[in-house]
Structure 1
């Protein structure tokens, strides 16, 4: 290998280092927003059901602002390099999906789809080889939703909403049935899915207790 080849390698290394730093910086901004949104939504456990719409409205500007970060990252990542750099923002995206899914459930009682989640943060179809929400990250966010709803089931009753456990139970059981159809080969994903049965059990126990005491009548 001659000096010219070493020179080319040096240039490539410098370019990759610059790219990595740019992505790290933009990913850090996205992570900050993700954490802020999750912090706001954590207040649902001490917020009466009637006041949840106002709480959700406070997080929507942050969700909207994620579009700027998504666009910036799509412009930084080279074509056909999505899987090489995905892990840079994976955790932040999982948190954002969780917030999006939680807001959707609290507002409409339905599940946000992967395409709707992408749309919410401004991801364009032509970015698929550079920046998008990976299916695995979407599913991780949905599992976090179930974990949170399990906790909300208990706290909703404490706040006097005795119907919430029943709504949550139906929704979570449908989700669990859907996950059961998936052939999950990722060990981390599989372990998280297996933990959902404990969330389902916890929710069922609350539903049983509320029913037994006839609190929802």
Structure 2
């Protein structure tokens, strides 16, 4: 006689659900990989163009920066827009690790280009030494910044700070190469900027280990440039301020 007790059969809808969601995650992952791969290629182009700053006097930077904007940053902006539109359909903190490092590099190219005098507007013409805020970076990329609620794609404070540490390393290298190019004034300007930036970092309460370590490393960039300035001072290549009467 058949038992009337409860069946031990598992509801097949459970596995149908798992299969459907597993396939969706694969599709999302594949699309994010496509977008970040395209963005990484554009970052490489941008960084390759920016590497020419080390052999270009500051007086001849404008044409180079225009090329950086047209061939590097504009494609980055377009792809970040595609990434933002797609990623905002899904939980931000589930997938943001897939693009965060790449976006940090994008922000770094924008910050460096602007600091060198690029990305100017009619109301705010480009000039050497201009540090964009995170909000200004967001406006250039046409994406939100530092969202506290919601799953929409955005630029985070962490990505911005890490990008700043990236450009201090690049600028410390430029400080030395500018001496070779006879552009001592640019070296002095870089020195002041990096020291001010590092002083600003000391005001932050950094809890993320990666960010804290990267910020701590900035002091070595400061030291490297200070050594260059010291050597220039010994050789009397830096004009000293006149004593006040």
**TM-score per shorter chain, which class?**
over 0.9
Cα distance, 1:79 vs. partner?
4.2
In structure 2, C-alpha distance between the alignment counterparts of 1:67 and 1:103, rounded to whole Å: 14
- Which secondary structure state, in structure 2, belongs to the residue aligned with residue 163 of structure 1? helix
> Larger Rg: 1 or 2?
2
Contact persistence 2:76–2:106 (CA under 8 A): no
Query: TM-score w.r.t. structure 1 length?
Result: 0.93
Q: Is the deviation greater in 102-111 or in 124-133?
A: 124-133
In structure 1, C-alpha distance between the alignment counterparts of 2:55 and 2:229, rounded to whole Å: 20
Q: Alignment partner for residue 112 of structure 1, among 132, 136, 139?
A: 132
Question: What is the aligned partner in structure 1 of residue 30 from structure 2?
Answer: 21
Q: CA 1:153/1:206 → structure 2, altered by over 3 Å: closer, same or farther?
A: same
Question: What is the aligned partner in structure 1 of residue 124 from structure 2?
Answer: none
Contact persistence 1:56–1:103 (CA under 8 A): yes
Cα distance, 1:80 vs. partner?
6.0
Contact persistence 1:63–1:121 (CA under 8 A): no
Aligned residues: 217
Contact persistence 1:150–1:203 (CA under 8 A): yes
Question: What is the aligned partner in structure 2 of residue 147 from structure 1?
Answer: 169
Question: What is the aligned partner in structure 1 of residue 5 from structure 2?
Answer: none
Question: What is the aligned partner in structure 2 of residue 137 from structure 1?
Answer: 159
Question: What is the aligned partner in structure 1 of residue 86 from structure 2?
Answer: 76
Q: Deviations over 1:153-192 (max 9, x none)?
A: 1100001001112111111111101111111122121111
In structure 1, C-alpha distance between the alignment counterparts of 2:209 and 2:103, rounded to whole Å: 20
Cα distance, 1:68 vs. partner?
2.2
Structure 1 vs Structure 2 CA RMSD: 1.8
Q: Is the deviation greater in 65-74 or in 120-129?
A: 120-129
In structure 1, C-alpha distance between the alignment counterparts of 2:172 and 2:55, rounded to whole Å: 15
Q: Where does structure 1 differ by over 3 angstroms across 4 or more consecutive aligned residues?
A: 124-128
Q: Alignment partner for residue 190 of structure 1, among 189, 203, 212?
A: 212
Q: Is the deviation greater in 198-207 or in 63-72?
A: 63-72
Larger helix share, 1 or 2: 1
Q: 2:223 matched to 1:214?
A: no
Identify unmatched segments of 5+ residues in structure 1: none
Identify unmatched segments of 5+ residues in structure 2: 1-9, 118-126, 240-245
Q: CA 1:11/1:78 → structure 2, altered by over 3 Å: closer, same or farther?
A: farther
Q: Deviations over 1:22-42 (max 9, x none)?
A: 111011111111111111101
In structure 1, C-alpha distance between the alignment counterparts of 2:194 and 2:88, rounded to whole Å: 39
Contact persistence 1:23–1:73 (CA under 8 A): yes
Question: What is the aligned partner in structure 2 of residue 181 from structure 1?
Answer: 203
Cα distance, 1:198 vs. partner?
1.0
